[in-house]
Structure 1
């Protein structure tokens, strides 16, 4: 259950999900045990009646505006409840940039209406923090010392060679945290990380060895240092860890390592944390985790039961923005069995923190992939994989349309409603790929095994008369037959976007 402050005492710290971390919020969805609220939901933070309960509506997959009208910057962090108040802490970068500005904390009575509480650590807190990158901050409460301890991933602001953790401490939740310094845990690299408390013992879970390994450490009794490396997932190439415990089963959620680009989330389970044995990694959600990357799972308990909330960041840089442009994706976790989980997309949530229930409100685009051919408007010919070859690196071409599977493609949006996504060939299952991750004009477009890289992301940009340009995200250039030629077997390349009909495509399967 979530910790609550008792009169005359410090906050109790026995979390069923363990971690008092304050997680960055990329759009929130919560599952509820109640039903029948969808038809009565109101938007813009309004209330929806659920029997005798009231719930607040959250608009998912968007930025959050505070009660004073400012954007909330709490990315890559987590949530902590104290009494009847929820606190959220996360990354706040410099304006229009990537460097550290502050670890910002916000408070809310209902997980929807947020007020800025404090910048608990800033670039002015210590000379070591300016310049710097401070990422994925988490806070846990140390009951023995009655202190709040923050950990985060720290880099030097120039490159990502430090791979350290930074630690800070405060006597109050929303106070000014005193910086304690940075280090590599037991001399291991540490990048994406989270914290977890289980029966009073603190744990650090962090990516190591350039994200190829994932380590679980036991913290010292004061939570200010690392005592022992207890478990390592070797060679799995996972990052963005988040963890929960439910009825004696521990679920460790992670993402793949594709930079800012969203990818397929996976989880592993054990009933013996942290030593294992652990299960293998299992996919959940969709192929891009609805355009987000995991940062935290929070447990919401109340009079009607307990629900678990996935929290993720839809990072701005994957769409050409900055981290402060990122959106919050919060989704309800579902548990088909005692050792499995899953989640679906909802554009709105209904949240009742008193009851401990959160439910997705059905409706809207669910983000499902859709199939189509791509017919060039200038030549009348179809995008085609030569001979339906399944080899990586095969160059795409145009060819007379004939309805074969080598001319069928599946567009998989990064998130529901997005015009950006991957394009996979129906016959081969491989994705359109700007080869060698080139940003140059004239670079060829081929197919390659799908991996959610920036060179496999394309935006379908609407043009006149229901046509589209296909814009490569890695370069901002448009796909066309080389030189605008009209013959069969002409290769597809990227070129500066313009008004040429050779850059316009008919996409009859598009749901738009």
Structure 2
């Protein structure tokens, strides 16, 4: 498991510290004298940390609000992705997360090897919180294809594992649950399903909505089937009498185009599936849509995971993308990228902060080719698949397509005008090795840390260009001039304003 990076300790903790200080001076009081949460800002594309400074394990998670607290349940596996815990955190403002408990463990769910996508709903008839999960074997291929259930009389107490099943005998892959606002608080299980013996992806051809029994522990009936859609990572919410179902395609850990469908009845008819966000859902996969009901409005927050497995890490390396949803009409949905999101749980107002692109190409002006991780310091060009290692150098190459993720960079603001520049394919940082201050020092990728040799100042220039300067040396990111060389190297060099030190920023192609 990797340690926390500079962005994790600053980009997330800095707002916590500011909110805490402001809270001491300007705490708002509700009519009954109860303190209420002040607005907070959450940074996208990073891991979140709890109030003790540990990484929040909210992967594949869902939330439930009980009283003034939002409870966040998430998968917390071993480094090999094998089941270890389902963990829960709570917060009043969706920013300062307090770890509460490992509600389900290897001991309390003895023999279970793989639990994913935990979601909780409350049954007022039985007084039980019911936790639903995807249950599988470990390691691959995943062949159990079952739904696991656990219950507890308290939201953040010890959950009792009640067993697992295949709904109406059908193989079940990714799962979610939805509780309606009707008189009976009817609950539904939404499952990626299949019955064949083909390869796993072929088995997952359908998406099925099942009505649960009144105690929420079994399936009562099949309500609707989306045939041959091949969708997973499903989450459902309801707004103004319209049901919205948001899903992801089947591309393993790699992000793809989210889609949504709508209906005014669970049984349908359902609309066709329309695109939501860009073609990689801003590098994320849906995990939950959270309604935030406040004194002024109710907003809907998209919660997505950037799975660490996508860059050859593990689930515990995963990061989060939270974005506000917009509703052009009662039955349509849209979502734009913002590097941060402002959340006010008191008023219910949620809004994006900033704009730009989830991933960018950086193009040197002199040749209009892309900054790419492709070369060892003194070695030959590497195949893209082999360019994830520590110390692999950075070069300039003809700009590629969506699959050329070694040319895609997350430009993450660290404050004070400095940025971390992270390669999408490896999740490693643009680095001046050994903090060299010399001209011609070659730039490479390395695991992200706190050093100023991984912090870059980006300064606007005329005609939409930018200068990118290493914080530790004050020298410019430069493409070494060598017209006879394929893939000239990226270096740092004294800033002079030449075209090989001027950069264009453009959205990465998807």
TM-score normalised by the chain length of structure 1: 0.67
> 1:330 and 1:171, CA in 2 relative to 1: closer, same or farther beyond 3 A?
same
Per the TM alignment, residue 367 of structure 1 is displaced from its structure 2 partner at its CA by: 3.7
> 1:465 and 1:341, CA in 2 relative to 1: closer, same or farther beyond 3 A?
farther
**How far apart, CA to CA, are the structure 2 residues paired with 1:140 and 1:216?**
16
Per the TM alignment, residue 505 of structure 1 is displaced from its structure 2 partner at its CA by: 6.8
**How far apart, CA to CA, are the structure 2 residues paired with 1:375 and 1:147?**
54
**How far apart, CA to CA, are the structure 1 residues paired with 2:346 and 2:370?**
51
Deviations 1:442-471, CA, capped at 9 Å, x for gaps? xxxxxxxxxxxx9xx99997899699899x
Partner residue in 1 for 2:350: 358
User: 1:156 pairs with 129, 137, 142, which one?
Assistant: 137
Partner residue in 1 for 2:215: 222
The reply on whether 1:105 has 2:88 as its aligned counterpart is yes
- C-alpha contact 1:77 1:295 (8 A) present in aligned 2: yes
**How far apart, CA to CA, are the structure 2 residues paired with 1:87 and 1:208?**
28
Deviations 1:1-25, CA, capped at 9 Å, x for gaps? xxxxxxxxxxxxxxxxxxxxxxxxx
Partner residue in 2 for 1:77: 61
Partner residue in 1 for 2:294: 302
Deviations 1:96-154, CA, capped at 9 Å, x for gaps? 2210010000011211000111111111113222xx11000111101111110011001
> 1:375 and 1:257, CA in 2 relative to 1: closer, same or farther beyond 3 A?
closer
- Structure scoring higher RCO (CA < 8 A, sep ≥ 6) equals 1
Per the TM alignment, residue 284 of structure 1 is displaced from its structure 2 partner at its CA by: 1.5
**How far apart, CA to CA, are the structure 1 residues paired with 2:326 and 2:88?**
28
Secondary structure at the aligned position of 1:128 is classed as coil
Secondary structure at the aligned position of 1:186 is classed as helix
Per the TM alignment, residue 62 of structure 1 is displaced from its structure 2 partner at its CA by: 1.0
- C-alpha contact 2:42 2:340 (8 A) present in aligned 1: yes
The reply on whether 1:511 has 2:505 as its aligned counterpart is yes
Partner residue in 1 for 2:39: 55
Structure 1, gaps ≥5 residues long: 1-41, 379-406, 422-453, 471-499
**How far apart, CA to CA, are the structure 2 residues paired with 1:67 and 1:361?**
23
The reply on whether 1:204 has 2:189 as its aligned counterpart is yes
**How far apart, CA to CA, are the structure 2 residues paired with 1:246 and 1:465?**
58
Per the TM alignment, residue 370 of structure 1 is displaced from its structure 2 partner at its CA by: 7.5
Per the TM alignment, residue 271 of structure 1 is displaced from its structure 2 partner at its CA by: 1.3
- C-alpha contact 2:410 2:423 (8 A) present in aligned 1: no
The reply on whether 1:240 has 2:198 as its aligned counterpart is no
**How far apart, CA to CA, are the structure 1 residues paired with 2:158 and 2:262?**
36
Q: Pairwise mapping of residues 93-492 of structure 1 onto structure 2 (< 5 A)?
A: 93-94=77-78, 96-129=79-112, 132-159=113-140, 160-198=142-180, 199=182, 200-209=185-194, 210-273=203-266, 275-363=267-355, 365-367=357-359, 372-373=368-369, 409-410=400-401, 416-417=410-411, 420=423
- C-alpha contact 1:290 1:415 (8 A) present in aligned 2: no
Per the TM alignment, residue 511 of structure 1 is displaced from its structure 2 partner at its CA by: 2.9
- C-alpha contact 1:73 1:104 (8 A) present in aligned 2: yes
**How far apart, CA to CA, are the structure 2 residues paired with 1:74 and 1:366?**
21
Per the TM alignment, residue 54 of structure 1 is displaced from its structure 2 partner at its CA by: 3.7
> 1:365 and 1:309, CA in 2 relative to 1: closer, same or farther beyond 3 A?
same
Partner residue in 2 for 1:6: none
Deviations 1:400-459, CA, capped at 9 Å, x for gaps? xxxxxxx764568678437556xxxxxxxxxxxxxxxxxxxxxxxxxxxxxxxx9xx999
Q: How many residues align?
A: 378
Secondary structure at the aligned position of 2:256 is classed as coil
**How far apart, CA to CA, are the structure 1 residues paired with 2:169 and 2:158?**
28
Per the TM alignment, residue 158 of structure 1 is displaced from its structure 2 partner at its CA by: 3.3
TM-score normalised by the chain length of structure 2: 0.67
Per the TM alignment, residue 77 of structure 1 is displaced from its structure 2 partner at its CA by: 1.2
| Greater mean deviation of Cα atoms: 289-298 or 336-345 | 336-345
Per the TM alignment, residue 194 of structure 1 is displaced from its structure 2 partner at its CA by: 0.5
Secondary structure at the aligned position of 2:328 is classed as strand
